[in-house]
């Protein structure tokens, strides 16, 4: 029996993960963690006979306790309890909380030497070097779950990273890709929250429309694979069938293709280093007919340029970038600022942070990352409020 813990089990990646786990008979679920969707968390915990169910919110503890009374499933609540779940024995841990809240639970699992399937890209963007060092120090393994990074990882299997010239991440262009530029400023959260190809959580779907998601993924790729910023490229690929391309020094390009279904990269991480049957649609290129590619328009997607700015700055910039992006997104979802205000809010936050601190200095601990995150959120909140008032 393999013991498995799923952080963020009630989210999009979490539900896909449990779908795969339910099809196997060699899995024991150690812990599931969720947020406010107590009905779903309780249902999952019962269906998967979890040993422990944790809600991240203290005020949700009681309802969860009631929902699971008489089941024998242990219950806990609060952010500390989520982190605690990471210390429990497990062979495989899915890190699928959204946002910087996923950082500490992932660190906890790595500190125990676990194999961590990392969907939470915020971990690598905010604390990449620390996260990799933690894994090395404890003999832990990090496996990428983001589809593009899983694709690169698979294309690199058996290869020498020194032979890589470039890594190209593809992007669908998001739900507003074909809108005229002048309409974008009026885009609503609902409109930006519809994805043409992938079925994902609301936040990452809006981040796809703005390409903040791709900006995060560029930084994630740099950290995970140890690439130089100028080795990474992005191509718009509306069909979302080619997930990434790796070009080698001898001119060969290895691409990873497949139907857009997160159960592929999740399942790859679950079965790694082997491959096993997965319930995903098979790619039929004759039916797909064509694969299109185009350079992204940086006027339409200013967030993308910020990724290279962040990578060149290094140090605290990734944590500031992520925190500011999360706040800008909150304000967009609350309709305080417009779709096109998000990138300027993040850019101004990076500037303000650099005015008051050495943004190029690398955080030396998780506590320092979290302090940078808190300060960047404060600054971004002020910038967003000023923009709203203007
Ligand atoms: P989601 O919003 O659907 O689910 C997020 C999960 O995190 C939920 O279980 C929620 O309860 C939990 N959560 C939210 N806030 C929390 C907090 N403060 N503390 C503890 N738990 C909290 O998100 P998602 O789309 O499943 O994405 C999860 C992560 O995976 C993100 O980092 C995202 O960028 C990444 N990712 C997602 C996809 C996808 O297809 N959805 C693809 C690639 C990468
Ligand atoms: Mg992705």
The half-sphere exposure of 355 on its side-chain side, counting CA atoms within 13 A, is 8
| Residue 207 pLDDT | 97
Q: Does 120 contact ligand 1 (Cβ within 6 A)?
A: yes
- pLDDT surpassing 90 at residue 197: no
Which ligand is nearest to the Cα of residue 171, counting in written order? 2
Q: What whole-number percentage of the chain has pLDDT above 70? A: 100
| Ligand 1 closest atom vs CA 36 | 11
| Residue 199 pLDDT | 87
| Residue 228 pLDDT | 98
So where are the chain's domains?
Answer: 2-144, 149-260+282-288, 314-389
Instruction: Pull the structure tokens for residue 101.
Output: 């809240």
- pLDDT surpassing 90 at residue 200: no
Q: Is the peptide bond before 273 cis (omega within 30 degrees of 0)?
A: yes
- pLDDT surpassing 90 at residue 3: yes
pLDDT in tens, 140-185: 999 999 999 999 999 999 999 999 999 999 999 999 999 999 999 9
Q: Do domains 2-144 and 314-389 have the same CATH topology?
A: no
Distance CA 114, CA 282 (A): 31
pLDDT in tens, 71-130: 999 999 999 999 999 999 999 999 999 999 999 999 999 999 999 999 999 999 999 999
DSSP label at residue 335:
T
> The whole model's pTM is what?
0.97
Q: Does 12 contact ligand 1 (Cβ within 6 A)?
A: yes
**Nearest-CA neighbor of 17 among 263, 269, 203?**
263
| Residue 234 pLDDT | 98
pLDDT in tens, 4-33: 999 999 999 999 999 999 999 999 999 999
Mutate which of 6, 13, 127, 169 to test ligand 1's pocket (most atoms within 8 Å of Cβ)? 13
**Nearest-CA neighbor of 5 among 71, 102, 150?**
102
Nearest CA to ligand 1 atom 36: 119
Nearest CA to ligand 1 atom 7: 97
Confidence category of residue 389, pLDDT binned at 50, 70, 90: confident
Radius of gyration of the chain (CA): 20
pLDDT in tens, 122-144: 999 999 999 999 999 999 999 99
Q: In this structure, what are the phi and psi dihedrals at residue 92, rounded to the nearest 5 degrees?
A: -145, 130
Contact by Cβ (8 Å): 259, 241 = yes
Report the length, in residues, of the chain.
390
Contact by Cβ (8 Å): 128, 121 = no
| Residue 211 pLDDT | 98
Q: Does 196 contact ligand 1 (Cβ within 6 A)?
A: no
| Ligand 1 closest atom vs CA 203 | 2
Distance CA 348, CA 356 (A): 13
Q: Does 96 contact ligand 1 (Cβ within 6 A)?
A: yes
Contact by Cβ (8 Å): 324, 378 = no
Q: Does 198 contact ligand 1 (Cβ within 6 A)?
A: yes
**Superfamily per CATH, domain 2-144:** NAD(P)-binding Rossmann-like Domain (3.40.50.720)
The burial of 209, by beta-carbon neighbours within 10 Å (0-12 exposed, 13-18 middle, 19 or more buried), is given as: buried
| Residue 198 pLDDT | 85
pLDDT in tens, 230-287: 999 999 999 999 999 999 999 999 999 999 999 999 999 999 999 999 999 999 999 9
| Residue 92 pLDDT | 98
Contact by Cβ (8 Å): 86, 7 = yes
Question: What is the architecture, at CATH level 2, of domain 314-389?
Answer: Orthogonal Bundle (1.10)
Q: Does 53 contact ligand 1 (Cβ within 6 A)?
A: no
Average pLDDT, the chain: 97
Q: Does 204 contact ligand 1 (Cβ within 6 A)?
A: yes
Order of strands across the sheet that contains 253-257 = 232-236, 164-171, 242-248, 253-257
Contact by Cβ (8 Å): 372, 323 = yes
Angle between helices 263-271 and 147-155 (to 10 degrees): 50
Distance CA 364, CA 331 (A): 30
């Amino acid at each position: 029996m393999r013991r498995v813990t799923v952080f963020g089990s009630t989210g999009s990646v979490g539900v896909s993960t449990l779908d795969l786990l339910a099809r196997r008979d060699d899995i024991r679920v150690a812990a599931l963690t969720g947020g406010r969707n107590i009905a779903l968390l309780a249902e999952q915990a019962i269906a998967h006979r979890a040993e422990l169910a944790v809600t991240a919110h203290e005020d949700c503890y009681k309802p969860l306790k009631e929902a699971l009374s008489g089941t024998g499933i242990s219950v806990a609540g609060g952010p500390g309890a989520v982190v605690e779940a990471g210390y429990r024995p497990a062979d495989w841990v899915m890190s699928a909380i959204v946002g910087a809240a996923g950082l500490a639970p992932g660190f906890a699992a790595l500190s125990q030497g676990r194999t961590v399937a990392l969907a939470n890209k915020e971990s690598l963007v905010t604390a990449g070097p620390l996260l990799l060092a933690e894994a090395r120090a404890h003999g832990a393994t990090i496996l990428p779950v983001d589809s593009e990074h899983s694709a690169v990882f698979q294309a690199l299997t058996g290869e020498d990273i020194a032979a890589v010239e470039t890594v190209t991440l593809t992007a669908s262009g998001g739900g507003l890709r074909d809108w005229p530029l002048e309409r974008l400023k009026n885009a609503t959260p609902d409109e930006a929250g519809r994805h043409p190809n992938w079925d994902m959580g609301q936040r990452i779907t809006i981040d796809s429309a703005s390409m903040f998601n791709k900006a995060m993924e560029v930084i994630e790729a740099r950290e995970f694979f140890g690439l130089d910023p100028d080795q990474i490229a992005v191509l718009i690929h509306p069909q979302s069938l080619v997930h990434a391309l790796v070009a080698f020094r001898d001119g060969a390009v290895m691409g990873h293709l497949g139907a857009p279904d997160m159960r592929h990269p999740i399942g790859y991480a679950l079965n790694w280093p082997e491959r096993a049957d997965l319930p995903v649609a098979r790619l039929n290129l004759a039916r797909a007919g064509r694969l299109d590619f185009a350079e992204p328009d940086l006027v339409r997607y200013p967030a993308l340029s910020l990724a290279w700015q962040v990578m060149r700055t290094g140090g605290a910039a990734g944590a500031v970038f992520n925190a500011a992006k999360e706040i800008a997104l909150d304000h967009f979802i609350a309709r305080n600022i417009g779709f096109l205000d998000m990138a300027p809010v993040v850019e101004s936050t990076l500037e303000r942070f650099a005015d008051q601190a050495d943004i190029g200095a690398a955080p030396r601990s998780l506590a320092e990352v979290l302090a940078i995150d808190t300060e960047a959120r404060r600054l971004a909140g002020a910038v967003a409020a000023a923009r709203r008032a203007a």
